Amino acid sequence: MSAAPAGQGAFRLTSLTASVYLPTFFFAIGQGAVLPIIPLFAKELGAPVAIASLIVAMRGLGTMLFDLPSGMLVSRIGDKGAMVAGTALVAIVAVGASLSGSVVVLAGLILLMGGGWSFWQLARLAYVSEVTPLEQRGRALSLVGGANRAGTFVGPIIGGFLGHQFGLEAAFYAQAVAGLCASGLMFIAIRGAGGTPVLSGHNATARMVSTIANHRRVFAVAGAPVIALQILRQGREVFLPLWGDSIGLDVARIGLAYSASSLVDAGIFYPVGFVMDRWGRKRVGVPSLLTMSLGLAILPLTSGVSGFVLVALLTGFGNGLGSGIIMTLGADFAPPDRRGEFLGVWRFIADAGSAGGPMVISSVVAVASLGAAAAVTAGIGLAGAAVFALFVPETLRGRPTIVAGPEAEAGATISRPR
């Protein structure tokens, strides 16, 4: 049972401070501290630039590979257990990474680091989904996004300072400490049976397979705009620095434009959550896709600082409009009896979009140009916006599930909201 079930008036967003928001902030500090350090540490171990970049990508690959197992783990040991396990795993891996003397060992540990991140974020989402009433879920999850953004802003500063003063290994120790702080806070703050109930079923794989089968239409239809949004986000991170360089801007100007974009992005997460809870998820999801698509579509037309900054601000605003939207939609669609498994698949879809984004971009650039790749990415975003607007039901008015057919299990097929 949840600590504060939907429909009861006792729930307050502040009740998630110690159990979710502070742990998210600490965890993000740890992640932010090591992300800029990982490629430098790999080079220090003797890896060439290409291999160092590949090691950085191992974290994202690990997250995607562990999404489905994480969903099953949440159902077997509960939200609290999975969150504590995820943060503890990251802390242990961080210490191991600092002591690794081999590029191969480092790559394997970074892969496991991504797995710990997957356990943590999926269990956290399942917990917030369960204890937060529907009409406050948008704000609750947008605040999660805000805490994560704040941590990833502070983390690189701490990691850079420690790496400079005490060696690159120190950043990994900072990550371990931050992870243990997050783990300890959750262990103390989350009590009783709040969150997803622990299941005693014997065949976790069969539950996962049936969840995918019974909700395949949801994953196919609602997952399409999620993938498009993730591709746009990856495109924003790739195109802004590369296009700025192609039009002759120096690193300082590109960095300032990107910082301004990130500031706009981070500054609107709570208003976005309010809009989601007041007027619906589609009121921010569709504009997010449209705005980022517009920004990337006009990027090839810019040739100077003013146009480049305009696109940076526009895409930052668009990304900010999507704060928490993927988590909120997943929480709304997830069936209570299969929440862990459903969210595992949901996160896998989102992470596949993140991993596939750079592949799409590099493929187009290889046969055309950077401007053409930006236009293609914008087109994917526009297609995602159309699917979101026309075919994805508004989840604020209930827990709608896109009908999967007569073979769906009882309770899995719910009509569109009125």
- Residue 312 amino acid letter: A
| Residue 314, amino acid | L
Together in a domain, 184 and 208: no
Q: Is-contact 404 414, C-beta < 8 A?
A: no
List Cβ neighbours of 331 (8 Å cut-off, separation of 6 or more).
Answer: 125, 128, 129, 132, 137, 141, 343
Per-residue model confidence (pLDDT) at position 411:
39
- Pair 93, 116: CB distance under 8 Å: yes
Domain count, the chain: 2
Range of the domain at 266: 204-418
Last residue of a domain, one of 164, 190, 216: 190
Residues 6+ apart with CB under 8 A from 205: 72
Residues in the chain: 418
pLDDT at 312: 93
Burial 117-153, CB ≥16 within 10 A → b, else e: bbbbbbbbbbbbbbbbbbebbbbbbbbbbbbbbbbbe
Task: Look at residues 190, 224, 249 and tell me which one is the last residue of a structural domain.
Answer: 190
Last residue of a domain, one of 190, 221, 251: 190
For residue range 368-387, what is the model confidence (pLDDT) as tens digits?
888 999 999 999 999 999 99
Neighbours of 416 (CB within 10 A): 13
* Helix 282-298, helix 269-279: angle, nearest 10: 130
Helix (H, G, I), strand (E, B) or coil at 393: coil
Q: Specify if 198 maps to a domain.
A: no
Residue 220 · residue 355 · CB < 8 Å: no
Per-residue pLDDT for 170 more than 80?
A: yes
Q: Are residues 147 and 224 in the same domain?
A: no
- Say if 309 falls within a structural domain: yes
Same domain as 108, residue 51? yes
Q: Is 11 helix (H, G, I), strand (E, B) or coil?
A: coil
CATH classification at residue 286? 1.20.1250.20
Do 347 and 209 lie in one domain? The reply is yes
Residues 263 and 130 placed together within one structural domain of the fold: no
Q: Are residues 26 and 58 in the same domain?
A: yes
Q: Are residues 51 and 171 in the same domain?
A: yes
pLDDT tens-place string over residues 172-185: 999 999 999 998 88
Inform me whether the pLDDT recorded for 139 exceeds 50: yes
- What integer pLDDT is reported at residue 359 of this predicted model? 79
Assigned domain for 57 exists: yes
- Domain assignment of residue 6, yes or no: no
pLDDT band at 355 (very low <50, low <70, confident <90, very high): confident
Per-position b or e across 384-415, b if 16+ CB within 10 A of its CB = bbbbbeeebbbbbeebbbbebeeebeeebbbe
Same domain, 182 and 213: no
Looking at the structure, tell me whether residues 178 and 241 fall in a common domain: no
Going by C-alpha positions, the residue among 193, 195, 179 that lies closest to residue 16 is: 195
Q: Is the pLDDT of residue 405 over 50?
A: no
**Per the domain annotation, does 1 fall within a domain?**
no
Tokens, residue 416: 């569109």
Q: Is 2 part of a structural domain of the chain?
A: no
Residue 121 has pLDDT above 80, yes or no: yes
Sign of CA dihedral 285, 291, 294, 300: negative
Alpha helices in 46-136 (DSSP H): 49-99, 103-131
